Structure 1
Amino acid sequence: MRVALCQIVVGDDPKENLRTALEAISEASATPGGVDLAVFPEATVVRFGNDLADAAEPLDGPFVTALREAAREHGTAIIAGVFEPAPEGRVYNTVVGIDSTGTLAGSYRKIHLFDAFGDRESDDVAAGGEPVVLDLAGTRIGLITCYDVRFPELARALVDQGAEVLVVPAAWAQGVFKEEHWTTLVRARAIENTTWVVAVDKAPDRTRPPRGAPGGVGRSQLIDPMGTVVADLGPFPAVRVADLDPAVTSQVRTFLPALAHRRPDLF
């Protein structure tokens, strides 16, 4: 399975952000052999600090429709973060999964909202309430959005539901020790679940958003079930194609059967 980690710049103009995403899909698909899955950050449509309700669209709106057309054109599945309208003027922070035919395979609304480090995501965003595993790119993919990664019970619930790969789109807030938290947490989710993790953060902001602190630390990573970092994109915009071998998961679980050693009778 070939995965494209699309660590793009996300700015204040949804139309420009869509152009950036479509260019990244074209770049990844031009790699010899193409790609099976292109993964984008959380909030690909517009960066935090803008009027999210103004940028929100239903999942049959122009932004997701354009991604669906690109998936069909290039024959690659896509995972990306968008905003959907929600009650009371708020939005849902949603990740969509699109298959290689351009069909919307499903979506996940972020459960854990970033009311931490002085931010209050819940002022603008309504929480989702259901873990989601999608059949996409020939595998079972569990979706985790940004702050969700701090909650290991979500990752474990997704694995229990049959997820073979965990995908983590993010717009990780900048701040003291935040990059260390990001790289540690995404590796931890791979190690404790003996599973592949595809973690894609947006490229760091070089300017301040209209309100709030800059976001994105970069460091998008592909991590194998032993916690080995197969790819690390560093701090700059990049599109990196890497191979994800599902057979590694069963190999690791043969000699490290931690999931089989769980004690559900006690916990």
Structure 2
Amino acid sequence: MPKSLPPRPNLEQLKTQAKDLLKAHRAGDASARHRIRENHPRWSQASESDLRAARFSLSDAQLVIAREHGFASWPRLKAHLHRLDSETGDPVEQLRQAFAADDAMRFRRLLARNPELKARINEPVAAFDAPLITHVRSRAMLEVLLEAGADINAKSRWWAGGFGLLHGAEPELARYAIQRGAAVDVHAAARLGMIDRLRELLAADRALVHARGPDGQTPLHFASTIEIAECLLDRGADIDARDLDHESTPAQYMVRDRPE
């Protein structure tokens, strides 16, 4: 398993490690030979005698150091460190940029360098006064956020009604989020076509058929299938209800989102 770089890796320190490895090999150190065999493709099958006699150079030592840290080459390790050096300025803005690019590795790295930001992971720093997790687009980013303590059921503070992750995520990601603990409310059930969950919720509380959710929409505004719509209408959903933000009916949403 590759070694982890420290939160603030230093290229000069890594260069020193390569020089130390070179010296250790020249001194006949057995652990140095083991590291070379494990990480340098040229000597992966070499015998002890071959390794002792090997013409092992500084560039070879640098390759070993790079591969020990999970990089295919020394130049790639250097390029990675240069990218880290470019990550300066407001760390919150850096996190926003990494999130916007869906760069989970960079996001995790920034949190490692600025661990105090984990305490703010649920703050409404995204669009529409929303925590970042409500706008997540990939499993990788979702996992990074959850590792940092993000609330998978957090919602935006939008005046008309808050949006959660399940109210906007692609269906495949939404299903994964449910596996990771996201709660399926009546609006999410309608949106994701989860008819059994919808019936369960309405059986427990019939008033949910009129519940106002994101943007002040009712479950019927979120209906993604005819079966879902019929289930809601059979239980008294108002076909002419208008959401609070756009003052639109469920039918108007369906024409926009589901032209079929």
Give the TM-score taking structure 2 as reference length. 0.29
Q: Which has the higher contact order (CA 8 A, sep 6+)?
A: 1
**Structure with the bigger percentage of strand:** 1
Structure with larger Rg: 2
Give TM-score, length-normalised by structure 1.
0.29
The answer to which structure has the higher helix fraction is 2
